[in-house]
């Protein structure tokens, strides 16, 4: 049997793909996730036709890039999508024109902080066009020349292959318990050529799933549903097309940016002190490692706004290592990812799930004080006063359960 690859190795498979809201690269990334999800999780694709209403949103078209480049009028190539997908502003409109420097300057994006890096920029909905390049390259471009802009792209609105998301469910030992409900774990698959944002969150979720499959939750616990999708619109599309699931969710955990060296940060749910908040905080405290906390949507806001949003209202925390300097540039690559950091996040989330999903309210099935000696539970107070009193207190608290 082949040895299971590290989470960082899985991340390195996902990282280079052109992952946008809907694209061939996104589909390929979701296929890779499926390779490493447990067989018992019933990993499956859902596809929605572009233009489908998703509450107040609309499912976007697939983005197909045939070629995209910027060159001087005399043919000197400046940037090329074929060299790095980040060179193209995601969801840029088609273009094939000769333009002056004044006409193209506002369409060129660079990072002041990392002058050698290519930033990642996108314009999903208020569409325009643009290229991303290093500041050093930008500074060297002649201002007195004209430039040839070529963006050969298509917005594919066919029902197939459509807009894709994937989900999987891991049940407790003995199978699902509908009365217990589910906990939802979500990570977003989009962001081309970005390692920590959020290929790291995706592989962290895979790690949690692998552990829960290897050692199932106790019988009667909640099931754990995993959702992998493009950011925001992915979870909106999935939930809007599966509204029957919402009432079954007891809590959510959104995972992102878990591979860099910063400490973990717990962003609380909208409810702030829900049981999922309390459990996650307790797990982090007991880990003995440094961690930080923030209020809902005050650390960094993503799909937890959907899960905890109006009409859904499922308490959802977020786990990340935000902030990090390399965010949304070519500096966010596998070199900043640490296997130890990924595994630490996996362990923290797994422990949170194990406590929360198996939490239960005891039901009293007796009247009066329990005949402890008859069940070999009595402890002689002369031998151990503290344990005798503790057992007595537990029994008396059953007064308020039924």
175 SS3 class: coil
What gap in Å lies between CA 156 and CA 219, rounded to an integer?
Answer: 46
Task: Please determine, for residue 41, whether its predicted confidence score (pLDDT) is greater than 70.
Answer: yes
pLDDT tens for each residue of 133-175 = 999 999 999 999 999 999 999 999 999 999 999 999 999 999 9
For residues 372-398, give the mean pLDDT: 90
Tokens of 358: 């198996």
CA neighbor of 321 nearest in space, from 258, 402, 243, 384: 258
Task: List the chain domain ranges.
Answer: 7-60+160-357, 62-156, 364-402
Asked whether the domain spanning 62-156 has the same topology as the one spanning 7-60+160-357, the reply is no
Look at the pTM and tell me if it is higher than 0.75. Answer: yes
Listing DSSP states for 332-350 in one string gives SSGGG--HHHHHHHHHHHH
Which residues on adjacent β-strands are paired with residue 48? 163
Task: Please determine, for residue 399, whether its predicted confidence score (pLDDT) is greater than 80.
Answer: no
Task: Please determine, for residue 1, whether its predicted confidence score (pLDDT) is greater than 50.
Answer: no
What gap in Å lies between CA 104 and CA 107, rounded to an integer?
Answer: 5
User: In the CATH hierarchy, which fold is given to the domain comprising 7-60+160-357?
Assistant: Aminopeptidase (3.40.630)
C-alpha dihedral (291, 295, 299, 304), degrees to nearest 10: 110
User: In the CATH hierarchy, which fold is given to the domain comprising 62-156?
Assistant: Glucose Oxidase; domain 1 (3.50.30)
Task: Please determine, for residue 297, whether its predicted confidence score (pLDDT) is greater than 50.
Answer: yes
pLDDT band at 400 (very low <50, low <70, confident <90, very high): low
What gap in Å lies between CA 389 and CA 381, rounded to an integer?
Answer: 8
The CA angle 114-117-119, to the nearest 5 degrees, is 95
Residue 245 has a pLDDT of: 98
For residues 334-340, give the mean pLDDT: 98
């Amino acid at each position: 049997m082949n040895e299971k690859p590290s989470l960082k190795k899985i991340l390195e498979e996902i990282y280079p793909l052109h992952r946008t809201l809907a694209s061939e690269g996104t589909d390929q990334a979701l296929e890779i996730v499926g390779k490493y999800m447990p067989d018992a999780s019933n990993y499956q694709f859902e596809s929605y036709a572009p233009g489908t209403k998703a509450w107040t949103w609309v499912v976007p078209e697939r983005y197909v890039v045939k070629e995209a480049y910027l060159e001087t009028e005399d043919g000197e190539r400046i940037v090329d999508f074929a060299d790095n997908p980040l060179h193209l502003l995601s969801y840029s409109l088609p273009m094939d024109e000769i333009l002056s420097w004044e006409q193209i300057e506002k369409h060129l994006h660079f990072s002041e902080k990392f002058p050698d890096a290519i930033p990642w920029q996108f314009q999903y909905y208020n569409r325009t066009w643009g290229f991303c390049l290093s500041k050093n390259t930008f500074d060297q471009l002649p201002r007195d020349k004209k430039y040839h802009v070529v963006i050969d792209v298509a917005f594919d609105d066919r029902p197939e292959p459509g807009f894709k998301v994937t989900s999987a469910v891991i049940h407790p030992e003995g199978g699902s318990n509908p009365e217990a409900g589910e906990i939802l774990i979500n990570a977003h698959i989009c962001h081309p050529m970005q390692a920590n944002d959020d290929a790291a969150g995706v592989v962290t979720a895979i790690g949690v799933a692998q552990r829960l499959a290897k050692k199932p939750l106790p019988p009667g616990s909640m099931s754990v549903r995993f959702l992998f999708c493009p950011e925001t619109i992915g979870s909106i599309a999935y939930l809007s097309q599966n509204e029957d699931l919402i009432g079954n969710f007891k809590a959510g955990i959104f995972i992102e940016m878990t591979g860099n060296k910063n400490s973990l940060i717990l962003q609380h749910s909208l409810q702030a002190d829900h049981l999922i908040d309390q459990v996650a905080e307790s797990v982090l405290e007991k880990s003995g490692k440094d961690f930080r906390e923030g209020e809902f949507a005050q650390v960094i806001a993503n799909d937890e706004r959907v899960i905890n949003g109006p009409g859904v209202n499922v308490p959802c925390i977020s786990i990340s290592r935000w902030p990090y300097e390399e965010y949304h540039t070519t500096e966010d690559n596998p070199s900043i990812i640490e296997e130890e950091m990924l595994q630490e996040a996996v362990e923290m989330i797994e422990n949170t799930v194990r406590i929360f999903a198996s939490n239960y309210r005891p039901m009293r099935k007796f009247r009066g004080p329990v005949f402890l000696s008859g069940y070999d539970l009595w402890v002689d107070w002369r031998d151990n006063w503290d344990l005798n009193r503790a057992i007595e207190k537990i029994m008396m608290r059953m007064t308020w359960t039924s």
